[in-house]
Structure 1
Amino acid sequence: MTINKILAFDALTCVLMGIVLTLWATALAPLLALPRDLLFYAGCVLFPIAIFMAVLARQDRPRSAGVWLVIAGNAAWVLASLAVLLLADPNRWGVGFLVAQALIVLAGIGRTQGCRPPGGELGESEGQMNSTLPRRTFLAASLALLAARPALGQRQTHANLGVPAMKIRDLYPLITTPVLVEARDFYVTHFDFQVTFEATWFVYLTGSGEDGTRGATLAFMHPDHPSNPPGPEAFGGLGMILTVETSDAASLFERLQRGGAPIVYPLTEEDWGQRRFMTRDPAGVLVDVVEQIEPAAGFWDQYMVKE
C-alpha cells in the first residue's frame, strides 16, 4: 500500500472519530467515565489533522517533512492517551476505549514501514523515517502500556484488602422531620431543587450542578414512616450543617432575604477562604451557603498536618 493511500485512510478515520467524539461526547462521558470536555475537544482536534493528512495524500509524492509530522503527531496522540489512562479515572469501558484507539494509532504508525510513493522509491532519509521511527515509537509505546498496567490495577483495587474498589452511585442526607412539605418547599423555592420522587412520607430532591459539577441530592422523611429502622425520632437541629456551595454567595444571600428565609449568620468573608452566610430550613437543619475565595495570607499554615 502506498503512503498516499495510508494517509487518505488515516484522514478518513480521523474524520469519523472526530464526528463520534464531538456529537456524542455527552453520551460517551458517563459510559467511559471520562470528562465530557476532554472527549469533545479531542474530537475537534481531529478535524484539522484530517485535513492536513488529506492534503498530503493528494500530493504525487508526499513531502518527507509532512509525513514526519504525521508520524510524530500519531506518536504524541498515543502518549496523550497513556497520560489520560494514568491521570484520569476511566472505568473498564474507558480503559478499553483508550487502549484500543491507542493501539489502532500505533498500527497506523507501523503501516508506514515499507511504504512507497507512487512511481518511485523513497529516498534514503525517507526510508530511514519509515523504518526506524515506527519501530522505536511502537516499542516505546508498547513498553509504556505494559508499565501502566500495574498502576491501573493498583488504582482500581483497595489499597489494603486487594479487592475491587467500591463505586458509590450517590451519598445524601435523609432527615426525619414532621414538616415534610415545608422542608420540600424551602429548597425548591430558595435553591431551585427539583422534586425527583415524592410520597406521603418521603420526598427526594435533586439540585442541578453548575459548570459540569455533579449537583446535590437531599431527602426528607416523615416520622410516621413505615421503613423502620430508623425509628420515628425527628431531627433535633444540633450536630449537623448542610453546606451548599455556589459561585455567587452574595446574589443568593439577597435572593433568600427577599424570599423571607431566616438568616442566622450574615454574609461574611472568612479568613479561611469562604464568603458565606447561614440560614435554617423548616426541619431545623443549619444551611451553610459558601463561595470559595482566596484565604488570608498564611491562615492555613498553622493548621496544616505536618508529615
Structure 2
Amino acid sequence: MHHDEGEEIMLTGCYPVLCTADVSASANFYREHFGFTTVFEADWYVSLRHPDRGHELALLDAGHESIPAGYGEAARGMLVNLEVDDVDALAARLDAAGVPTVQALRSEAFGQRHVIVRDPGGVLVDVITEIEPAPEFAAAFGR
C-alpha cells in the first residue's frame, strides 16, 4: 500500500528488540520468569508475546548481519518495564531462581514498588507494581 504525501501512516506494531549474545537463554528467561510464549523462533531471532494482554518483545543475536556494525551490544541506560500485579511474590521467585538483582525491591514515592533484575543478555528489567503515590506526586497523574 502506498500512502500519498501528508497522508497519515498507521502504526501496526511497537515492541522492543533486545540484542543478546545468547538468543536461546534470553528467550527462555522471558518465557520461564514472565510467561511469554513464542510467536517465531530461529537460532538468531525469537519473537515473544504475552498471552494475557498481547505485549510483545523480541530477542536478536547481537552478531547478526542485520545489525549495523558497532550496535550489537546490550543497550545501556535502557530498561524494559514489566508491570505485574504482585512484584513482591515475583521478586521472591526471581531471587530463588538465581536471577541477578541489580536494584533490590523497594517502594518509590512516585507510585511504584519495583525490583530491577538483569536478563542473560545484560538488559535491565524493571519489574513494577503500581502503588499509591505520595501526595507530592499524585497531581502528576492524569487521574
| Structure-1-length-normalised TM-score | 0.41
Aligned to 1:198: 41
Conserved in 2, the CA contact under 8 Å of 1:224 and 1:232?
no
Amino acid corresponding to residue 222 of structure 1 in structure 2: D
Conserved in 2, the CA contact under 8 Å of 1:177 and 1:222?
yes
Q: How far apart, CA to CA, are the structure 2 residues paired with 1:248 and 1:215? A: 19
Provide the identity percentage.
37
Conserved in 2, the CA contact under 8 Å of 1:223 and 1:232?
no
Aligned to 1:272: 110
Aligned to 1:243: 81
Aligned positions of 1:170-249 closer than 5 A? 170-209=13-52, 214-227=53-66, 229-231=67-69, 233-249=71-87
Q: How far apart, CA to CA, are the structure 1 residues paired with 2:64 and 2:137? A: 46
Amino acid corresponding to residue 205 of structure 1 in structure 2: L
Amino acid corresponding to residue 59 of structure 2 in structure 1: F
Conserved in 2, the CA contact under 8 Å of 1:237 and 1:283?
no
Displacement, 1:254?
1.4
Question: Out of 157, 169, 172, which is 2:12 matched to?
Answer: 169
SS in structure 2 opposite 1:176?
strand
SS in structure 2 opposite 1:171?
coil
Displacement, 1:237?
4.2
Conserved in 2, the CA contact under 8 Å of 1:241 and 1:286?
yes
SS in structure 2 opposite 1:187?
helix
Between structures 1 and 2, the one with greater strand share = 2
Q: How far apart, CA to CA, are the structure 2 residues paired with 1:232 and 1:200? A: 21
Conserved in 2, the CA contact under 8 Å of 1:267 and 1:275?
yes
Aligned to 1:262: 100
| Structure-2-length-normalised TM-score | 0.83
Runs (5+) with no aligned partner, structure 2: 1-5
Amino acid corresponding to residue 99 of structure 2 in structure 1: A
Displacement, 1:225?
2.1
Q: How far apart, CA to CA, are the structure 2 residues paired with 1:170 and 1:268? A: 32
Please tell me whether Structure 1 or Structure 2 has the larger radius of gyration of its CA atoms: 1
Establish whether residue 284 from structure 1 lines up as the match of residue 127 from structure 2.
no
Conserved in 2, the CA contact under 8 Å of 1:280 and 1:286?
yes
SS in structure 2 opposite 1:289?
strand
* Cα 1:197–1:175 shift into 2, 3 Å: same
Conserved in 2, the CA contact under 8 Å of 1:263 and 1:279?
yes
Conserved in 1, the CA contact under 8 Å of 2:82 and 2:125?
yes
Question: Out of 292, 295, 300, which is 2:133 matched to?
Answer: 295
Amino acid corresponding to residue 278 of structure 1 in structure 2: I
Between structures 1 and 2, the one with greater helix share = 1
Give RMSD over aligned pairs. 2.1
SS in structure 1 opposite 2:43?
coil
Larger RCO, structures 1/2 (Cα 8 Å, 6+ apart): 2
Displacement, 1:197?
0.7
Q: How far apart, CA to CA, are the structure 1 residues paired with 2:60 and 2:51? A: 21
